[in-house]
Amino acid sequence: MLEALDWLLTVVHVAVVLAFTFAWIPRRTSRWHGWLVTLTAFSWLVLGYFKGFGYCVLTDLHWRVKRARGITHLPGSFLKYMADYVTGTNVPAHVIDVVAGTVFVVGCGAAAFRYWQSRRA
């Protein structure tokens, strides 16, 4: 059961990352993207104020499942975990942080752009 939940959380996590990165492009998903950006910003910044900047509710839940499965030595972020898994190397955490921060800022800008674009239409 935990293994299935782990895989489900991996699929959901990857879908969230891809949606955050690209869902602003089609106009029909831009509103949904705006909500995803808002939830992500709330987690990373507001909850992050109390739990550590960049705190992710989904990663916290996912890591709890992995630990319950006996998987230890997990990195601080899902993005680092996946980058290491996909490349088969130990990608430096600061590289992941810079990429994540850049995508976050661009995603926020894209959401704002689509919002103002829809207000003018």
Domain holding 7, by residue range, is 2-120
**CA distance linking residue 92 with residue 81, whole number of Å:** 11
On whether the CB atoms of residues 65 and 48 are closer than 8 A, the answer is no
How many domains does the chain contain in total? 1
On whether the CB atoms of residues 47 and 57 are closer than 8 A, the answer is yes
Cα 45–Cα 49–Cα 52 angle in degrees, nearest 5 = 95
What is the per-residue pLDDT for 99?
96
What is the per-residue pLDDT for 121?
63
What is the per-residue pLDDT for 101?
95
Q: What predicted TM-score, i.e. pTM, was given to this entire model?
A: 0.90
On whether the CB atoms of residues 24 and 30 are closer than 8 A, the answer is yes
What is the per-residue pLDDT for 119?
84
**CA distance linking residue 79 with residue 96, whole number of Å:** 7
What is the per-residue pLDDT for 65?
98
Tens of pLDDT along the chain (121 residues) come to: 999 999 999 999 999 999 999 999 999 999 999 999 999 999 999 999 999 999 999 999 999 999 999 999 999 999 999 999 999 999 999 999 999 999 999 999 999 999 998 888 6
